[in-house]
Structure 1
Amino acid sequence: MDETDVVVVGSGSAGSALAGRLSEDPRIRVTVLEAGSKDTNPWLHVPIGYAKTMYHPTISWNYQTEAEAELHGRSVPWPRGRVLGGSSAINGLIYIRGQAADYDHWRQLGCTGWAYEDCLPYFKRSQNQERGGNEFHGADGPLTTSDLRDKGVLPQAFIDAALELGFPRNDDFNGADQEGAGWYQVTVRNGFRCSAATAYLKPNLKRPNLRLITDAQVQRLVIEGGRVTGVVYRVGNEERTIKVTREVVLSAGAINSPQVMMLSGLGPAQHLAEMGIAVQRDIPQVGQNLQDHLQARLMYRANQNVTINERVNSWLGMAKMGIEFALTRGGPLSFAAGTSGLFARVLPQSATPDVQFHFIPWSADSVKEGLHKFPGFTISVCQLRPESRGEIRLASPDPMAKPHIHARYLTSETDKQCMVEGVKLAHRLAETKALGRFIAEPYAPPPNAARDEAALLEFVRRNSGTIYHPTSTCRMGEDAGAVVDTELRVNGVGGLRVADASIMPTVVSGNTNAGCIMIGERCADFIKRAA
């Protein structure tokens, strides 16, 4: 039987950071099990490549939610990375940590040691900030964060539109304050994507105590006497077992970490019994508390050829984009899933921004269908702190079966109000002089819906989708219902921790990649101290 000290399940944002840091101690043997393959597809390294990989048949898990009642029964696609680097290899590259208030709220919920002042040193330690270090940023870490190389006239017009409406200019969304309009920073190094695996894992595989096994689909945990002692996984048709002398860490994400726990008999006892799985420990909250950011995308026809649509729909334009990226690492191929952005408050009770806008200088009904044939652009709005809660459930005891995902979007009246107010603000931004001069007409929603709240809510219900930030299904806390404690140890189970977005008590106010990397960094320190 194979043996190691620590097994990390998943090479995504948290898993790669954890394994890379943990292997700095030569006394700890670390094995990473990744269900996907190595990151050999070239689109995984070109920034705009997420448009090619997000729904790829093998690179993505291609999950779907169950029918969402408040979205007229629609099933929402949930792509997640199934490749070296996990979702950090197929995400939109935007580097956002969330608000200081998010982490201070975690502390108020009982997560001692997870206030913003506790987490900031780990954000800084992880970061190689292109602009240099300061009180909020590090410059010596593995993860490169950089400014966009190509900004364009339309994204600048969006910033100008926000300033025209009275919002402040913000040149650092991860600095002293999140509110305002400005440019996003991205996880890009020398023009190419800097995934968590690129930053933490691949450069360190030469270490004799760090091993990566790809195409390794975890089946279940081996539990003996209330302690995890190994992992059963499958490579092709072969089932293998690896024994652990210290710990297993689940870093498989908000869907797969609770799935692996439940397949192993750790979860809600009644649900496990229904699946025919022997209960090792009744942990009712495993798979519960699911949270995600819902987004609505407003699209506009442009009256000038200043969008990416017209370039993509031309062979000459495509050739020019390829040449531009090859020579300068700039141009549209260097774009992230948002160029400029805005964090704003739309609800009167909100003390900090409650919506996030991504401005995108192209438009499409879906990534799969390709860009529109006309010049167009998109304003995406998402609610930052949803009250709606969903769950992850097993579909069957078969480890290869996709779990049931119940997001339960818009089950809170506050969530509905916030989304409608966010869409209304997007309309006001489009009506400014700065941005309005580029608009021929609204494409979605139609002009007559702009000020009708019922019509806007209907638009959200029929057209909104995930912005790819599922969290909180293995909630951290010090209360009896928490799945993991504040050092990420699963309550009542020896030798098992969880380190990924699933441990977040509440979803952070923004993109989740940076927060997951911070969690991986912290977990490495917890394990080193325990060792």
Structure 2
Amino acid sequence: MVDYIIVGGGSAGCVLAARLSEDPAVQVVLLEAGGPDDSVLIHCPAGLALLAKTGQANWGFQTEPQPGLGGRRGYQPRGKVLGGSSSVNAMIYTRGHRDDYDHWAAQGNPGWGWDDVLPYFKRSEHNERGADPWHGADGPLNVMDPRSPSRFGRLFTQAGVQAGYRENTDFNGADQEGVGVYQVTHRKGERFSAAKAYLTPNLQRPNLQVITGALTRRILLEGRRAVGVEFDTRGERRQLKAAREVLLCAGALQSPQVLMLSGIGPQAQLREHGIAVVHDLPGVGANLHDHVDVVTTWDVPTATDLFGLSLPGAARVLKGILEWRRHRSGMLTTNFAEAGGFIRSSPDEAIPDLQLHLVIGKLVDHGRKTVFGHGLSCHVCVLRPKSRGSVKLASADPASAPRIDPNFLGEADDMARLVRGFRAMRHLLRQPALAALGGRELPESAAAQTDEQIAAFIRAKADTIYHPVGSCRMGNGGMDVVDAQLRVRGLDGLRVVDASIMPRIVGGNTNAPVLMIAEKAADLIRAAQKEKGAVGEAASAR
């Protein structure tokens, strides 16, 4: 028996494993279905392009057919490796808007407003620019400006200013709005995932055990209390007991799946799959939502310093490999999505409702399709979509993928914003700073000129930008799954700690917020144990 079992070795799980094992008297076990993060494609930032093509370290889920996308199935990549999606993502460090967190608190979640969570963002961060009122410099997670930036981030920023947006040198500072170059979770030319930040430095702790290749089957319950986990590893089925708590950190797609496999969730769905109902909790798997996103791609044949398949491009990559191996610098330190911005789709919007990501290559089908020549791409996504979907079980087999339905573009407002966003993106890309490159928009999107044509293009091409949240929503209503302490409602000894608890998605990339959630959760867990100990001592004294 151990004190804490953490299910999922992604961003949140790595934080909890590190923070809870700081107490040498506490025994912590971390279970991860994937393997160790030992691939060079993980550690070399530009390796993410090959990770996308090969599907390495990735669950590679698909959605249910999406009516809003013309019946297409969307792609849902999720990290299957220590570090989770922080080991395979584009390494952008953004937090969202302060209003996002004040909204969480206003929805009945005390302690989750901006002023409450900012200290946890700062605690997690080591920003190479140094500490200031918005940033920390003593945390485990290294955050920095790009080590060897291309010229295209600067050109994009100049084009954004020409389009009427202001330059923003810090999207996590006093004001989010504007265009600029993203900071990234790198260190010394390598990806700096949650595993490298939190887990790797602490693997030698005798009170921390990490088990990879461990597929969780279910949470073990005795009455209303979680007491352990059943999992498969290396052909063996095992059970492990937890004296204090089970902490579910499997992410927005798999945390609800694990709960339902354990008999915790909507009773009708559990019975459909022959799972005994332990706790009828109708909100499990509901409220799934994500940043719906569309990409436009441009041919820029003369800019051979953009990534692309050509003889000059191949020569540059070979040179870049040697430079990265020798000095951890050069073109392979790119995260591809080097620049972007937060803009408003209309002057009537109080805060940015769209996000842009410039990609220094021709991105087609999430980078899985090989395309020739040189070019660039740009994403635009809706930051606070109104559409809501669900995660459901496909079967009672834990190895089966869940049924994922983000309900993309299910609400007309999401499409209207994305159409406006597409127009704004195209307007920016046509500004002189970028137009001087002599690029040409690919015909499929270039043909979309009217709102109706743009909407048709969006239905044919839009998909996720990899930020699913909300499927174990935090709150105090009938469809909420966890309370403001992240405890599963109606049960003891079980918390959910990951993006699934977000009541509403934040206006930005979600990795930094997940790290913040886990940092705060560690404090909540330790405070609960301290309170329990004080109550026990008081009872003994009586």
Q: Which amino acid aligns with 1:29?
A: Q
What do residues 145-171 of structure 1 show as CA deviations (whole Å, max 9, x unaligned)?
Answer: 010022222221110011012211110
CA distance in 2, matches of 1:338, 1:185: 10
What do residues 440-498 of structure 1 show as CA deviations (whole Å, max 9, x unaligned)?
Answer: 3211544332x311110111110111100000000001233310000100000110000
CA distance in 2, matches of 1:311, 1:146: 31
What is the 5 A alignment of 1:138-157? 138-157=136-155
Question: Aligned pair in 2 of structure 1 residues 412, 444: CA closer, same or farther (>3 Å)?
Answer: farther
2:278 is aligned to 280
TM-score normalised per structure 2: 0.95
2:361 is aligned to 362
CA distance in 2, matches of 1:422, 1:445: 17
Q: Which moved more, 1:327-336 or 1:241-250?
A: 327-336
1:324 is aligned to 323
Tell me the SS of whatever aligns to 1:59: coil
Task: Point out where structure 1 has 5 or more consecutive residues left out of the alignment.
Answer: none
What do residues 58-93 of structure 1 show as CA deviations (whole Å, max 9, x unaligned)?
Answer: 511110001001111111111100111111110110
1:95 is aligned to 93
Tell me the SS of whatever aligns to 1:427: helix
1:341 is aligned to 340
Name which of 236, 239, 243 aligns with 2:237: 239
Q: Which moved more, 1:329-338 or 1:263-272?
A: 329-338
What is the 5 A alignment of 1:398-413? 398-413=397-412
Do the aligned partners of 2:467 and 2:509 also contact (CA within 8 Å) in 1?
yes
CA RMSD of aligned residues (A): 1.4
- The alpha-carbon deviation at position 406 of structure 1 amounts to 0.7
CA distance in 1, matches of 2:311, 2:30: 39
Q: Which runs of 4 or more aligned residues in structure 1 lie more than 6 Å from their structure 2 counterparts after TM superposition? A: none
2:421 corresponds to 1:441: no
Tell me the SS of whatever aligns to 1:48: helix
CA distance in 2, matches of 1:38, 1:462: 37
1:482 is aligned to 480
2:299 is aligned to 301
Question: Number of residues paired by the alignment?
Answer: 528
Name which of 4, 7, 10 aligns with 2:8: 10
Tell me the SS of whatever aligns to 2:525: helix
CA distance in 2, matches of 1:470, 1:337: 21
2:538 is aligned to none
CA distance in 2, matches of 1:286, 1:189: 37
Name which of 119, 125, 133 aligns with 1:127: 125
Q: Which amino acid aligns with 1:388?
A: S
Q: Which amino acid aligns with 2:406?
A: A
- The alpha-carbon deviation at position 205 of structure 1 amounts to 1.4
Do the aligned partners of 1:388 and 1:412 also contact (CA within 8 Å) in 2?
yes
CA distance in 2, matches of 1:180, 1:476: 30
CA distance in 1, matches of 2:388, 2:53: 25
2:157 is aligned to 159
TM-score normalised per structure 1: 0.97
Tell me the SS of whatever aligns to 2:519: helix
Do the aligned partners of 2:53 and 2:369 also contact (CA within 8 Å) in 1?
no
Question: Aligned pair in 2 of structure 1 residues 297, 444: CA closer, same or farther (>3 Å)?
Answer: farther
Name which of 502, 515, 518 aligns with 1:517: 515
Task: Point out where structure 2 has 5 or more consecutive residues left out of the alignment.
Answer: 530-542
Question: Aligned pair in 2 of structure 1 residues 332, 312: CA closer, same or farther (>3 Å)?
Answer: farther
CA distance in 1, matches of 2:390, 2:138: 38
Name which of 220, 226, 241 aligns with 1:222: 220
- The alpha-carbon deviation at position 348 of structure 1 amounts to 4.6
1:503 is aligned to 501
Q: Which amino acid aligns with 2:338?
A: T
Q: Which moved more, 1:53-62 or 1:261-270?
A: 53-62
Q: Which amino acid aligns with 1:202?
A: T
- The alpha-carbon deviation at position 209 of structure 1 amounts to 1.1
2:383 corresponds to 1:384: yes
CA distance in 2, matches of 1:437, 1:24: 54
